[in-house]
Chains A and B, each alone.
Chain A
């Protein structure tokens, strides 16, 4: 029985529960390391003596959806902003595929770690122009077929020439997801992507996120204050309180402990 559980745990370190990990440690059986895409080490940010994030240590594995949950003001969004270096950490660092992110050019880092914000903040113009924004910044152009393919993935086929002023909140947020995907990111950082939407739009966006994460094999870090959403979208979760990670494990363990 024990051997079977350890064997199961060896399938993927990402999927191992904390008890399975400790069991593997006790028996000195190494877990087969799932590919770590993102690793935060002693990550912290303090401004004007206010601690926003304190000593955050965690990993995100390839293809997994990791939820960051916690009450309002617990530092979830601050932690996410540190991951793509929109804010500078005052301690620690982040490794992206084993490389310290301070060794990466900020623009390259942000293309690798694409971010979708709470509000979509689309640029004036058409949906297609918004999708072109990222590729144009690196001197590239998305062919019309690629634009249509991205829009298809988020359920907005045929929306390319629509002006962003004529989109609903849910549609705009899905355009924002597609715009981020146009950079072919390694990791998708989602900062409460549905918190400004009504229930129907929220489910549409969630469905788009699930589809693109599955289709692209993306690693996804999702900030949400909604435990039900974390359960629907993620397998693992971190619970933050006052800037500190107080729990790290399977969503069911973290949310119902």
Chain B
């Protein structure tokens, strides 16, 4: 229907973005009626996401002609931004940005490096940057989920944790159940994506590969490859952040620093 009113590709794109944003706004209004206030955060995220993707789209035109080594800088920048974004889910946890950035760098970075080395990811900037960004973005989401779950579990179990400390437990031991729970919870989206691949969703990347003239079976297999890489990067990121974060919420004298109202 929008095609009837908008004739240029750019106009049509903005109209489609507005339509999608309206649906998202409807959800916010429905949530508001249930006293769930997501307005500011969602609006900022939508505007920010649109501006960012337009900016990156414009830059990509230039980058497609840039030398291969520039993709390392691009991916590095993405990791830092991803670390900053997911650290916001860990309010009150000391050093959350550093933990997030290192975890994503190790989790997504090592999978990208290994897969590039094996030739699974092409070294061309047009392949490495989009696929790498997918791994980083998913690692960021997993890390955010892990930190958020860990934070809320710790705040809900301060009594249990301090009882364990009072009985002479190591600080890390006292939070082990919550580290494990946050790791498991953070991987639910990645596991469900793998499980439902091809049945519930056919990701956009596959359509792109098909459009570029590849054989459908190869496009399908490569889609599995991407999701398996996403799972590996997300799992490694979550494992790393879980290992790092357990000790950060304690002082050197093994006192729990993350407390309600502090």
- Known contacts A117-B163, A121-B159; A88/B169 CB under 8 A: no
Do B251 and A107 touch across chains, with their CB atoms under 8 A apart?
A: no
For window 145-169 of chain B, which residues contact chain A by CB distance below 8 Å?
Answer: 159-160, 162-169
Chain B residues lying within 8 Å of A111, measured Cβ to Cβ, are 167-168
Do A85 and B169 touch across chains, with their CB atoms under 8 A apart?
A: no
CB-contact partner of A134 in B160, B167, B253, B255, under 8 A: B167
Instruction: Check A133 for interface membership: any CB of B closer than 8 A.
Output: yes
Do B160 and A110 touch across chains, with their CB atoms under 8 A apart?
A: no
Instruction: Check B254 for interface membership: any CB of A closer than 8 A.
Output: yes
Chain A residues lying within 8 Å of B163, measured Cβ to Cβ, are 117, 121, 123, 176
CB-contact partner of A85 in B164, B168, B173, B253, under 8 A: B253
Do B167 and A86 touch across chains, with their CB atoms under 8 A apart?
A: no
Do A110 and B167 touch across chains, with their CB atoms under 8 A apart?
A: yes
Q: Mark A111-127, 1 if CB is under 8 A from B, else 0.
A: 10011010101010000
- Known contacts A106-B253, A137-B173; A86/B168 CB under 8 A: no
For window 136-190 of chain B, which residues contact chain A by CB distance below 8 Å?
Answer: 159-160, 162-170, 173
Closest to A107 in B: B168
Do A87 and B169 touch across chains, with their CB atoms under 8 A apart?
A: no
Do B160 and A121 touch across chains, with their CB atoms under 8 A apart?
A: yes
Instruction: Check A180 for interface membership: any CB of B closer than 8 A.
Output: yes
Chain A residues lying within 8 Å of B162, measured Cβ to Cβ, are 86, 117, 121
Q: What distance in Å separates the Cβ of B245 from its nearest Cβ neighbour in chain A? A: 20
Closest to B157 in A: A121
CB-contact partner of A107 in B159, B160, B170, under 8 A: B170
Do A137 and B166 touch across chains, with their CB atoms under 8 A apart?
A: no
For window 93-141 of chain B, which residues contact chain A by CB distance below 8 Å?
Answer: none
Instruction: Check A219 for interface membership: any CB of B closer than 8 A.
Output: no
Instruction: Check A5 for interface membership: any CB of B closer than 8 A.
Output: no
- Known contacts A88-B253, A106-B254; A180/B159 CB under 8 A: no
Do B251 and A137 touch across chains, with their CB atoms under 8 A apart?
A: no
- Known contacts A86-B255, A88-B255, A106-B254; A133/B160 CB under 8 A: no
Chain B residues lying within 8 Å of A137, measured Cβ to Cβ, are 167-170, 173
Please list the 6 inter-chain residue pairs (A to B) with the smallest Cβ-Cβ separation, ordered nearest first.
A121-B163, A134-B167, A115-B166, A111-B168, A121-B159, A106-B254
Q: Would you list 27 pairs from A and B whose C-beta atoms are within 8 A, ordered by A residue? A: A85-B255, A86-B166, A86-B255, A87-B255, A88-B253, A88-B255, A106-B254, A107-B168, A107-B170, A108-B168, A110-B165, A110-B166, A111-B167, A111-B168, A117-B159, A117-B162, A121-B162, A123-B163, A133-B164, A133-B169, A134-B168, A137-B167, A137-B170, A176-B163, A179-B167, A180-B166, A183-B168
The chain A residues found within 8 Å of chain B, CB to CB, are 47, 84-88, 106-108, 110-111, 114-115, 117, 119, 121, 123, 133-134, 137-138, 176, 179-180, 183
